[in-house]
Structure 1
Amino acid sequence: MSTSEIHIRLPPPTAVRREVPVEEYLQVKESYDKEKPIVSVQTQFNLAWVLIRSSSEHQQRQGLNLFSSIYKEVPERRLECLYYISLAYYKLFEYDEARRYIDMFLAKEPKNNEAALLREMIHHDVKKGLYEGEGGFDGVENGYIGMAIVAGTVFSGAALFGWVTKKLFFNRSKK
Structure 2
Amino acid sequence: MKPVRILTVGKAKAGHFGKAADHYRKLLSRFFRLEEDWVKDSSPRLSPEQRKEAEATSLLARHKPGEALICLDEKGKSMASRTFSAKLHNLVERHSGVCFVIGGPYGLGEEIRNKADMLLAFGPMTLPHEMARLVLLEQIYRAAAIRAGLPYHND
TM range (shorter): under 0.3
Larger CA Rg, structure 1 vs 2: 1
